Amino acid sequence: MSVELIGPEPANVADFDLNSAFDPLADSAADDKGDAGDYVHIRIQQRNGKKSLTTVQGLKEKFDYNKVLKALKKDFCCNGNVVEDSELGKVIQLQGDQRRNVSEFLIKAKITKKEHIKLHGF
């Protein structure tokens, strides 16, 4: 009795190049840099006690940050400001944990798509 395999041939260990150097950190860092401009990062930072700060980074430059900030402050009844960072560019800071509110606002106002938002936090 003979057994016939259907499908592709199984790979042998000899088929793989095990001597090649693979640096997973270098490859992932290269991948992250290309995608970093596409995402809006929403982070929370713990201050003192139960006080916290929400930061929004990565909005496109075509948007007026002050108008977006004004709308966010009015909708969420909180204070905030726009900070200019040498590495990150313009960053919106809001008082309190506003991560979910900000992400819903950005989607509803069609500033960015849901797939382009990254929520960071505890």
CA dist 80 and 93 (Å) reads 5
Average pLDDT, the chain: 81
Q: Where are the domains of the chain?
A: 40-120
- What pLDDT does residue 105 have? 95
Cα–Cα distances (Å) from 117 to 53, 105, 108, in that order, read 18, 11, 13
- What pLDDT does residue 16 have? 55
Q: Which two tokens stand for residue 80?
A: 């905030």
Q: How is domain 40-120 classified at the architecture level of CATH?
A: 2-Layer Sandwich (3.30)
- Cβ-in-10-Å burial (0-12, 13-18, 19+) of 90 comes to middle
Which of 59, 45, 48 minimizes the C-alpha distance to 92? 59
Report if pTM > 0.85. Answer: no
Beta pairing partners, 57: 41, 91
In this structure, how many other beta carbons lie within 10 angstroms of the beta carbon of residue 54?
A: 24
- What pLDDT does residue 59 have? 92
